[in-house]
Chains A and B, each alone.
Chain A
Amino acid sequence: MRTLKRELILVNIVTTGAAVLVSLALMFSVELRTGKESLAQDMTIKADIIGNQCTAALAFSAPWDAEEILTALRADGQIVYAAVYDRNGSLFAAYRRREGPADIPRRAPEKGRTFGSDHLDLTRPIVLDREQVGTISIRVGLERLREALLKYMTVSAAVLVVALLAAWTVLSRLQRTVTAPVTDLVRLMEGVTRDKDFSRRAERSGPEELASLSTSFNEMLTAIQSRDRDLERSLTELQEAYGKLKDLDRLKSDFISTVSHEFRTPVTSIKAFVGILSMKPNLTEERKKRILATINDESDRLTRLINDLLDLSRIESGVIQWRDQDMDMNEVVRAVISEILPLAQNKDISIEERTWEGLPLILADSDRLKQVVVNLMSNAIKFTPAGGLITVETFRRDSPAGVAVSITDTGSGILAEDLNRIFEKFHRTRSALTNAVEGTGIGLTICRSIVEHYGGSIWATSEHEKGSIFTFFLPQVRPPAIPESPGSQG
């Protein structure tokens, strides 16, 4: 398997081997040159010394003496032969190695040196008193040089092997600085892929490239993590929206069943009374009158219900016509009180009016605001037992400037848990349901829609079994930020 570690070691060993080989080859060639050069120099010196020794022999024509001198060369086993020639170039004296079968030239060779395949030929002049009196020629065997070079090569091979071993040993340890971070990173990546755990982080270590690889990998993990978080948040939001939609759907179903129920009750009673009238023709006039009055009441109730529904849908869809003009809230309140007073008196409920004189005029549709006050007062009458008191107050408010209206009853009150939801569409308090009090559950929603259309607000406070206070506030100047009461849409 081609691992990073192996590749690293291989590359290094090849590099080291090549470097060592090249340097050894260079050193070998240098060694060969210097070996030859120093041999030639040694032999030149030797030849010159011997030649100088022979000057007297040459001067006095004593070849026996020259031969005796040449015999001294026996000490150097490398010398194959040595020959001295007289000034005319004729062989004068010679020495040859015992085993040397070499032929000695009869005439003096050219001066200089020549390297043969296995020998060095060296010819030097013999000078006496600045005058060449003869020539000396030496042939040197290269066996010793070869031996030295062979030894050198053996040592070189040993050096190569040792260098490679050393490189391998050192690299086996040093490669960890490179491979360990890579291995760690690979392990981390495998772990992340396997466990899908994107919270892990790579340790920044090793050479620059690996460190930046770790950094990039960490950044990638961070990106994945934040994407995961975004996804999770989106999912939560979707689930919330889905939950709201489901709630809304449930509310709509509730509404439909409520509305159906509300429709059926008056229709059933109308149908029943109509049946009585048609089946029992001989009823007393008074009885007939009462039945007809009831039928009328039920029809009114149906009409009111239908009107409320139409109003709400018109407000919410924005098709309603607002006939805004300067109006006095006190007038609206008084008109409603006079309109609703008979109803209150029927239930033996008294109405107290506390109007604030000098209220500022408000630019609004007085019919719609009347509707708000009627709804609130109808509710108050509905939930206030006989003998109760309903107080209607108007205030002037300064900050922000506007008009507030509050309707206080002495009714059963509203449970704290219901207070926040009574303005929601289709919501009816539990007590309202159990007491089967008439109502559509959308009266307060219509109130809120109208008030919010004018940039105002509506709220309720209540104390159980002591009564409720419904207050709405209308600003003198409609704030521009709230155009079409979006709160009622949601």
Chain B
Amino acid sequence: MHGLCALALVIAEGNVAVTAAGQEAPGEYDVKAAFVYNFIKFVTWPSGEEPAEGAMQLCILGDLPDAAPFDDIDGQEIMGKRLHIVHLREPLEARNCQALFLSSSLSRRLPDTLELLRGRPVLTIGDTNGYAQRGVMINMYLENKRVRFEINAESAGLAGLRISTKLLSLAGTVYGTERTGK
């Protein structure tokens, strides 16, 4: 529970301003982990696709500069399910995840990975420039030292996922609908 409180603090204070220097201030990946955690709340998976165990698997593919904040939210309850953070080695393993964080290190293998997941209701999330245009559903970026995100609604639609308009309205850019650009 401690992790969640820390996240809440992160969001509440300082307008999510991320300062690279401040040791005490929440780090970039603290905010990003909180964002990912909140993204899941505004996404609806197609019915019948939830895992039987009632778990929500948030998989992480590739290396992260700071994976600790993600491990902190492991085991939290979300949307009535238990959130599991799973670190993957192979893209093939991602087919059974509900959400998949694709790190920058995966940039080269991205098309293959996305191809593997085609038609699967897996929410793909990234934090690398151009990922949204390349088919990742939600992509975070920094703007004026603030974490923002863009959404590829088309990819989400193809995967059978529904992203809440509340989230869409907060996105800096939404691809794949009439509403493109900022």
How far is A129 from B38 in the complex, measured between Cα atoms in Å? 10
> 9 shortest A-B CB distances, which residue pairs?
A56-B166, A59-B38, A129-B41, A61-B16, A61-B11, A62-B170, A56-B167, A60-B170, A56-B170
Q: How large is the interface on A (under 10, 10 to 19, 20 to 34, 35 or more residues)?
A: 10 to 19
Residues of chain B contacted by A65 (CB below 8 angstroms)? 169-170
Given A56-B42, A129-B41, decide whether A61 and B79 contact each other with a Cβ distance below 8 A.
no
CB proximity to B under 8 Å, residues A189-211: none
Residues of chain A contacted by B8 (CB below 8 angstroms)? 87
Chain A: minimal CB distance from B163 (Å)? 10
B78 on the A face (CB < 8 A):
yes
Residues of chain B contacted by A90 (CB below 8 angstroms)? 12
A–B pairs, 17, beta carbons within 8 Å: A53-B166, A55-B41, A56-B166, A56-B169, A57-B166, A57-B170, A59-B38, A60-B16, A60-B170, A61-B11, A61-B12, A61-B15, A88-B12, A128-B41, A129-B41, A129-B79, A130-B80
Chain A 46-66, CB within 8 Å of chain B: the 1/0 string?
000000010111011110010
Measured CB to CB, the nearest residue on chain A to B37 is A59
B164 on the A face (CB < 8 A):
yes
B35 on the A face (CB < 8 A):
yes
Chain A: minimal CB distance from B12 (Å)? 5
A86 on the B face (CB < 8 A):
yes
How far is A275 from B167 in the complex, measured between Cα atoms in Å? 180
Binding site secondary structure of chain B: helix
Number of B residues near A (Cβ < 8 Å) is: 17
CB proximity to B under 8 Å, residues A114-138: 128-130
Residues of chain A contacted by B12 (CB below 8 angstroms)? 61, 86-88, 90
Measured CB to CB, the nearest residue on chain A to B167 is A56
How far is A88 from B14 in the complex, measured between Cα atoms in Å? 13
Q: Which residues of B contact A (CB under 8 A)?
A: 8, 11-12, 15-16, 35, 38, 41-42, 78-80, 164, 166-167, 169-170
Residues of chain A contacted by B11 (CB below 8 angstroms)? 59-61
Chain B: minimal CB distance from A61 (Å)? 5
Residues of chain B contacted by A53 (CB below 8 angstroms)? 166
Output the residue of A59, A65, A87, A128 with the most chain B CB within 10 A.
A59
Chain B: minimal CB distance from A65 (Å)? 6
- Decide if B35 touches A60 in the complex (CB within 8 Å): yes
- Decide if B169 touches A60 in the complex (CB within 8 Å): no
Residues of chain A contacted by B16 (CB below 8 angstroms)? 60-61
CB proximity to B under 8 Å, residues A40-87: 53, 55-57, 59-62, 65, 86-87
Residues of chain B contacted by A87 (CB below 8 angstroms)? 8, 12
Measured CB to CB, the nearest residue on chain B to A130 is B80
Beyond contacts A55-B166, A59-B38: 7 other A-B pairs, Cβ-Cβ < 8 A, are A56-B38, A56-B166, A56-B167, A59-B11, A60-B38, A60-B167, A65-B169
Chain B: minimal CB distance from A157 (Å)? 50
Chain B: minimal CB distance from A88 (Å)? 6
Chain A: minimal CB distance from B73 (Å)? 13
Chain A: minimal CB distance from B98 (Å)? 15
Measured CB to CB, the nearest residue on chain B to A134 is B12
Measured CB to CB, the nearest residue on chain A to B17 is A61
Chain A: minimal CB distance from B171 (Å)? 10
How far is A86 from B16 in the complex, measured between Cα atoms in Å? 14
Measured CB to CB, the nearest residue on chain A to B31 is A61
Residues of chain A contacted by B170 (CB below 8 angstroms)? 56-57, 60, 62, 65
- Decide if A129 touches B166 in the complex (CB within 8 Å): no
Chain B: minimal CB distance from A68 (Å)? 8
Chain B: minimal CB distance from A73 (Å)? 17
How far is A55 from B16 in the complex, measured between Cα atoms in Å? 16
Measured CB to CB, the nearest residue on chain A to B149 is A60
Chain B: minimal CB distance from A381 (Å)? 161
Chain A: minimal CB distance from B144 (Å)? 13
